[in-house]
């Protein structure tokens, strides 16, 4: 779909995607086209690199720094790598429907 949009002449800088599409191979293809991506992630088997270790999303959250902001929706942020070596910034936000998530 991204390829068709680019071929049609759509001027785009970012690709916005749901958690179904935010996975390594697709992100690698988007970055290779010179685009940026914004996507949701879920706690799956996906691993992130921190200090030469591979950690899951929950461990990544624990290692991320709390964000000092007047908006309480943004909780933490960390820059890391996602397989296959893609640099990503993971921003943890509060779930609007469930304040504990």
Mean pLDDT of 11-23: 82
So what's the pLDDT on residue 70? 64
What pTM was estimated for this model as a whole?
0.74
Render pLDDT for 25-55 as a digit per residue (tens, 0 to 9): 888 888 888 888 888 887 777 888 888 888 8
Question: What is the C-alpha to C-alpha distance for residues 95 and 3, in angstroms, rounded to an integer?
Answer: 32
pLDDT band at 100 (very low <50, low <70, confident <90, very high): low
What are the structure tokens assigned to 55, written together? 């950690």
Q: Do residues 62 and 89 both lie within one domain? A: yes
Q: Do residues 89 and 60 both lie within one domain? A: yes
Mean pLDDT of 70-75: 75
Name the percent of the chain lying above pLDDT 70.
91
Q: Do residues 36 and 51 both lie within one domain? A: no
Q: Do residues 47 and 26 both lie within one domain? A: no
Q: Do residues 53 and 98 both lie within one domain? A: yes
So what's the pLDDT on residue 31? 86
Q: Do residues 55 and 82 both lie within one domain? A: yes
| 74 close to 95: Cβ distance less than 8 angstroms | no
Residue 74 lies in domain: 43-101
| Total domain count, the chain | 2
């Amino acid at each position: 779909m991204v390829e068709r949009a680019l071929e049609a002449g759509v001027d785009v800088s970012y690709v916005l995607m749901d958690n179904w599409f935010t996975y390594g191979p697709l992100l690698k293809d988007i970055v290779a086209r010179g685009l940026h991506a914004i996507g949701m992630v879920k706690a799956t088997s996906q691993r992130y690199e921190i200090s030469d270790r591979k950690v899951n999303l929950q461990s990544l959250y624990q290692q991320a720094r709390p964000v000092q902001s007047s908006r309480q929706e943004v909780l933490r942020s960390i820059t890391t790598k996602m397989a296959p070596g893609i640099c990503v910034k993971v921003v943890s936000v509060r779930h609007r429907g469930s304040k504990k998530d």
